[in-house]
Amino acid sequence: MSASTRRPGGITTANALPLAFSWLILAVVIVLLAFVLYMTFVPSLPTEPGFTLKHWSNVASSRLLTRVIPNTAIVGFGAIFVGAFFALPMAWLLNRTTLPLRATFTTMIGITPVIPGFILAMGWIMLLDERIGLLNNVAASLLGFSSIPLSVKDSPWGIAWVLGLILAPAIFFLVAGPLCRIDPSLEEAASVVGMRHLTTLRRVTLPLVWPGILGGLIYVFMTAVSIFEIPALLGAASGKVPVLASEIFYSVRPGGPLTATFAYGAAGVYGTLLAAPSLVALYVYLRVLERTERYQVITGKGYRPRETDLGGWSWIGVGFVVLYLALAVGLPLLVLLWASLMPVLQMPSREALSKLSFTNYDGLFEGLGGFGVISNTVVLVLSVSLFVSFFSFMVSWVVVRTQAQSRKLMDMLVMVPHAIPSLAFAFALAMLGILASRWLPWLPLSGTLGIIAVAHVINRMPYGTRVMNSALAQVHRELEECAQVCGTKTPTIMRTIILPLIKPSVIYLVVWTAMLSFQEVTMALFLSGPHNNVLSVSIWVLWEGGNLGTAAAGAVAMVATTGLLMFGILRLAGGPTAGLVGREVGAAPLTKSQ
C-alpha cells in the first residue's frame, strides 16, 4: 500500500476529481501572483533580457511620495469615515432595535452592490459639481449665489465621499455579524451590576465587537484604495487626483490604447505596494473571524440578541436609513434617469419637463456598440457565473467534505484574490496575454473575451467559495455516506444528492455572480481590446467621450436590466433562494468587487 492511502484521511480516488479542479484554479491564482512580482524586476516586457531594480528605486520618486500616497491615504481613510458614519448606526438600528421594516431595509442594503459603482459616481457628478451639479444649482438659487464651489470631482475628499457611500454596505454587514452574535447574557450581566445603558454599550458591547469591526475596517480600507473606476471618474483620469490604483492603470494603458508609453515594471511595483498590506489585512481579518466563530460556538445559538425598543424615536432611525439609501442609490439613479431624458442636463422645471424625450435612448443601441457588445456581455456574464459556481463547488467540496491534508491551505489560497487588487490580476493577465501572443500565437488570450472571463472568475472565487462552504457544511455528512454505501460514486452523488440539496445556494451564487460580472468595469476596461467590449465598458467610454446623455441612458438601461433579471430569476427560483439575498450577503460580507 502506498503511503498516501495509508495516511489517515489520505487521498482516495473518490476525491481525485474535485482535487484536480481545485488545484487547477488555485494554480492560476499562484502563477498570476508570482508574475506580478516578477514583472517588477524586468526592464520592460519579460521577452527582453535583463534584470533591474530601478522600478523599485523609482518608488521613492517625489510624485509618488508627495501626491499619490497622500491622495490614496485620504481616499482610504475618508471612505472608511464616511462608510462607518452611515454603516455603524444602521447596523445597530437594523440588528439590535425594534425599528419597523428592518428585514426590508437589510435586503435593500444587501442588494445595493449589484448597482455599478461607476454609475453611482456618474450620478454624483451630476448632483455635486460646481458647473453642472443639480444640488449646487438648487443651493445657489436658494442662497442667491451664482455658483457653489463644492464638487465631488477633482478632490480626494469627493472620491472618499462616493466610495464611502458605496462601501457602507460592506461595513454594515461586517459589523452586523459580531453585533448579532454577542451573547445577551453578557450584556445582561452588565446591567445587573448596575451599569447604565450607554455605559454598557461603551464598556461591554463595544469591546466585544471591536476586534471584528477593526478587522473589517482594515479590509474595507484596502478595498477602497484598490478600486480604480471611481477615482478615475472623479479626477484620476484627468491626472488631477492620482491614486495608486489609477497609477497602475495608466502605467499600462496611458490615456487609451493609442497613446501608449508603457511602464510595466512600475505597474508591478504599484500592484505589489497595494497587495502586500492587503494580504496582511486579510490575514488579520481571517484570524479575527476565526476567533469570533469559536466564541460563537461556545455561547451556542439558542438565544435572540436583546433588542432596544426605540419608541417614539424610531422614525428618526427610519429616516436615517432612508437618508442613506437616498444618498447612496436613490438620488444618483434619479439624476441619471433625469439626465437620460434631457437633451442637455438642466434643472428640473416646467420648461425642462416640456423637453422630455427619449432621444438619448434612440441612439443607445448603436452608441453602446450594437449587437456585438450585447452578445459579448451575455457570453461573459453566463460563462463567468457558471465557471465560478463550478470551481467554487469543487474547492468547497475538498475543503468541507474531504479530509485532504491540503484543504486548509486551499481555503486560504482561494481567499487570496480577495486581498489582491483586481487591477493587479488584470495586469498580470494582460502581460501573460502579450507574452502568449508572441510565444503561443494560437492561444487566443490577448484582447479576447476569454481573458476578461478568467479575470472575473478569479476575482469572484473568494465569495463563491464562502457561499458554497456554508451550503455544503449544512448538508449532513451521512446523507453523502449513505449514497456511497448504496453503491454510487462521488460524481453521481454530487449530481443526484448534493446539488439538489444545495440548489437554492447554487442559484443564488449564479445570479449574484452574474450581476457582479455584469457591472464590473475595472478589469474589463483594462483588458479591453477592439473586439471584446462589454456593456459596462461601453458606458464608460461614452461617458469619457463626453456623451453624458447617452451614457446616462445606458446606465439607466443597465440598472433596469440588472433589477429585472435579478428579481425575475429569484422569483422563478422561489422562496428559498430569495431568502438567501439578505442572509448570504450578511454571512459573507465580501460582496463588492474590488
Residue 485 as a binder of other proteins (CB under 8 A): the answer is yes
Least Cβ distance, residue 403 to other proteins (angstroms): 9
Candidates 100-108, 274-282, 458-466, 482-490; binding stretch for other proteins (CB under 8 A): 482-490
Least Cβ distance, residue 495 to other proteins (angstroms): 9
Residue 476 as a binder of other proteins (CB under 8 A): the answer is yes
**Residue number, 296 or 484, with CB nearest to other proteins:** 484
Tell me if 164 sits within 8 A of 78, measured CB to CB: yes
Pairwise CA distance, residues 152 & 163, whole Å: 11
Candidates 222-230, 281-289, 491-499, 578-586; binding stretch for other proteins (CB under 8 A): 491-499
28 φ, ψ (degrees, to nearest 5): -60, -45
Q: Which of 260, 276, 473, 482 binds other proteins (CB under 8 A)?
A: 482
Q: Which of 31, 479, 560, 572 binds other proteins (CB under 8 A)?
A: 479
Least Cβ distance, residue 287 to other proteins (angstroms): 16
**Residue number, 476 or 571, with CB nearest to other proteins:** 476
Q: What is the DSSP letter of 153?
A: T
Least Cβ distance, residue 189 to other proteins (angstroms): 30
Residue 10 as a binder of other proteins (CB under 8 A): the answer is yes
Pairwise CA distance, residues 327 & 135, whole Å: 12
Q: Which of 356, 496, 567, 574 binds other proteins (CB under 8 A)?
A: 496
Residue 492 as a binder of other proteins (CB under 8 A): the answer is yes
Residue 13 as a binder of other proteins (CB under 8 A): the answer is yes
- Residues 6 or more apart from 277 whose CB is under 8 A from it? 222
Residue 297 as a binder of other proteins (CB under 8 A): the answer is no
Q: Which of 234, 413, 429, 483 binds other proteins (CB under 8 A)?
A: 483
Q: Which of 438, 481, 574, 575 binds other proteins (CB under 8 A)?
A: 481
Residue 474 as a binder of other proteins (CB under 8 A): the answer is no
Pairwise CA distance, residues 118 & 551, whole Å: 11
Tell me if 370 sits within 8 A of 360, measured CB to CB: no
Q: What is the DSSP letter of 66?
A: I
Q: What is the DSSP letter of 308?
A: B
Q: What is the DSSP letter of 155?
A: S
Q: Would you give the distance in Å from CA 453 to the centre of its chain?
A: 16
Question: Position of cell 473606476?
Answer: 229
Residue 298 as a binder of other proteins (CB under 8 A): the answer is no
Residue 294 as a binder of other proteins (CB under 8 A): the answer is no
- Number of residues binding to other proteins, judged by CB under 8 A: 27
Least Cβ distance, residue 122 to other proteins (angstroms): 45
Candidates 73-81, 487-495, 521-529, 533-541; binding stretch for other proteins (CB under 8 A): 487-495
Least Cβ distance, residue 12 to other proteins (angstroms): 7
- Residues 6 or more apart from 389 whose CB is under 8 A from it? 464, 468, 506, 509, 510, 513
Tell me if 122 sits within 8 A of 332, measured CB to CB: yes
Pairwise CA distance, residues 195 & 203, whole Å: 9
Residue 2 as a binder of other proteins (CB under 8 A): the answer is yes
Q: Which of 287, 489, 531, 571 binds other proteins (CB under 8 A)?
A: 489
Pairwise CA distance, residues 46 & 42, whole Å: 6
495-518: string of b/e by CB count within 10 Å (b at 16+)? eebbeebbebbbbbbbbbbbbbbb
Q: Which of 60, 478, 530, 546 binds other proteins (CB under 8 A)?
A: 478
Q: Which three cell numbers stand for residue 456?
A: 472575473
| Alpha-carbon distances of 228 from 170, 236, 424, 525, rounded to whole Å | 17, 9, 11, 10
Q: Tell which residue, 380, 381, 377, 368, has the closest CA to residue 552.
A: 368
**Residue number, 54 or 408, with CB nearest to other proteins:** 408
Residue 9 as a binder of other proteins (CB under 8 A): the answer is yes
**Residue number, 302 or 487, with CB nearest to other proteins:** 487
Least Cβ distance, residue 407 to other proteins (angstroms): 13
Q: Tell which residue, 566, 518, 525, has the closest CA to residue 544.
A: 525
Pairwise CA distance, residues 303 & 295, whole Å: 14
Residue 573 as a binder of other proteins (CB under 8 A): the answer is no
Least Cβ distance, residue 268 to other proteins (angstroms): 40
Residue 497 as a binder of other proteins (CB under 8 A): the answer is yes
Q: Tell which residue, 218, 113, 96, has the closest CA to residue 168.
A: 113
Least Cβ distance, residue 480 to other proteins (angstroms): 9
Least Cβ distance, residue 569 to other proteins (angstroms): 20
Q: Is 337 exposed, middle or buried (0-12, 13-18, 19+ CB in 10 A)?
A: middle
Q: Which of 448, 484, 547, 561 binds other proteins (CB under 8 A)?
A: 484
Residue 366 as a binder of other proteins (CB under 8 A): the answer is no
Residue 19 as a binder of other proteins (CB under 8 A): the answer is no
Q: Which three cell numbers stand for residue 266?
A: 512600475
Q: Which of 8, 144, 207, 530 binds other proteins (CB under 8 A)?
A: 8
Of residues 498 through 557, those in contact with other proteins by CB under 8 A are 500-501
For the chain, report the end-to-end CA distance as a whole number of angstroms.
47
Residue 12 as a binder of other proteins (CB under 8 A): the answer is yes
Pairwise CA distance, residues 588 & 242, whole Å: 31
Binding site for other proteins (CB under 8 A): 1-2, 5-6, 8-10, 12-14, 476, 478-479, 481-489, 492, 496-497, 500-501
